[in-house]
Amino acid sequence: MALPRVEKIAAVWRKELLDIVRDRRTLMSMIVVPILLIPVMMIVGGVVAASAMKSLEAKELVIATVDSQASPRLFEALQGVDQATLVDYTGTPLDSLRARISDNWIQAAVIFPGVNLDDPSVQPTVTVMFREDREKSELANRRINKTLDAFTDELVSERLVAFNAPESVVTPFMIEEENLATDEQMILMVLASFLPYMLILITFTGALYPAIDMTAGEKERGTLETLLASPASRLEIVFGKFLAVFSTAMVSGILSVLSLTVAIVSGTSWLGSEIGQELSLEINAGAILGALSMMIPLAALFASILLTVCVFAKSTREAQSYVQPLVFLLILPAMMSMMPGSESTMGSAWTPVVNVSLAVESLLTDQADPTFIGITLLSTTVYALLGILLTSRVFQKETALFRV
């Protein structure tokens, strides 16, 4: 078999790129989604979440008290609960009280113990009823707990004075946390766990429509037959198409990294943190480049898989139904960087997509293990080469190209 000729491959590649950039669907998935949609989603999502949090904090709560007469000091303390109105429900059966919490008439109930809490000889129980699955009720519980903790500290201090005992009796030592991570590093950690997922997914979707268009689309339009009758060999056609899909995947990947970085940094700044502006100067350009270099073999793998799958489809609609499950299959391994406790082991270094997700995360957080990165690059390159081999074999099959 003759070796593929570079000029023929380049001719196919150039034509496919020209065709792609004139396709609105491809432009949407390749440029508009990574550049505009995701940052806008993130910023709008952040604003919505922040405003929802703010509105939750401002919510007025109703807290029922039962038998509060016996502990006037505790009642007095509870009156200090933020944004809460205390309503006396003494005498109401407990089941009825529970029903009212479930019905959201009241958000929580505090059942007093019926004894004076100033008496150190007893250790009574204060019961707090709430529903953890209800946002407002859970908020009421948190506010009540905060108030009760402060009241407990107050009682303990009084008793220590009464018994003439030092504070160290109940608090043998103090704890002082010193978080070495700077605000910048904390944000970078969030970015590093989120970015690989988005990067992998956007690189894949960037390759998706061009792959469909160049295979099933070409069949559907009926242009494949004349292309196959041209002097370009099947291998040259495959390589040209592969390079075009790979190019769009890489463009999408690069744009997503840039826009996500800018979005997170500017979004952080916009949402009130002052570190956003500084962070933009501190993000390691080398780490970003390293992350993108990991994407090269992965984009090649995606391009080959998508071309292989889509060439079997008779129409673009059919091709879309073929690639849909692939998107779902991709989500879990791509999310590995966001999973708590996921580690860069040798096993994961050989697992496609998982390895890149973890490697990109480690690069961004400056914790990269050169062996892991090396194996990730090697294994993904091997998979990509196998993928290209498979694609070229499938393109030789008449049953795939001329399925009836």
Q: Please report, as ranges, the residues that interact with other proteins according to CB under 8 A.
A: 2, 7-8, 10-12, 14-15, 18-19, 22-23, 221-223, 225-233, 398-399, 402, 404
- Rounded to whole angstroms, the Cα distance separating 291 from 111 reads 56
* ∠ CA 170-175-180, rounded to 5°: 170
Instruction: Compare residues 25 and 159 and give the one whose CB is closer to other proteins.
Output: 25
At closest approach, how far in Å is the CB of 319 from other proteins? 18
Minimum Å gap between C-beta 223 and other proteins is 5
319 neighbors 219 (Cβ within 8 angstroms): no
Q: Cβ contacts of residue 235 below 8 Å, gap of 6+?
A: 1, 4, 392, 395
- Residue 23 or 138: the one with the smaller Cβ distance to other proteins is 23
Amino acid, res. 268? T
Choice between 23 and 183, CB closer to other proteins:
23
Minimum CB–partner distance for residue 230 and other proteins (Å): 4
Min CB(390)–other proteins separation in Å: 20
Q: Taking the complex as a whole, how short is the minimal distance between the CB of residue 312 and other proteins, in angstroms?
A: 13
* Least distance (Å) between residue 225 CB and other proteins: 6
Nearer to other proteins, 98 or 397 (CB): 397
Given a contact cutoff of 8 angstroms between Cβ atoms, the answer to whether 301 and 351 are in contact is no
Residue 64, SS3? Answer: strand
The distance of closest approach from Cβ of residue 50 to other proteins in the complex, given in angstroms and rounded to an integer, is: 43
Strand partners, 109: 64, 129
Separation of alpha carbons 45 and 38, rounded Å: 10
Between residues 23 and 369, which has the closer beta carbon with respect to other proteins? Answer: 23
Q: At what angle do helices 183-212 and 316-334 cross, to 10 degrees?
A: 160
Residue 84, beta-bridge partner list: 61
- Compare residues 192 and 232 and give the one whose CB is closer to other proteins: 232
Q: Can you tell me whether residue 62 is helix, strand or coil? A: strand
3-state secondary structure of 310: helix
CB of 9 to other proteins, least distance (A): 11
Instruction: Choose between 105 and 402: whose C-beta lies nearer to other proteins.
Output: 402
| Phi, psi torsion values for 210, nearest 5 degrees | -60, -40
Alpha carbon distance 357, 336 (integer Å): 6
**Closer CB to other proteins, residue 8 or residue 143?**
8
Phi, psi of 84, rounded to the nearest 5 degrees: -130, 145
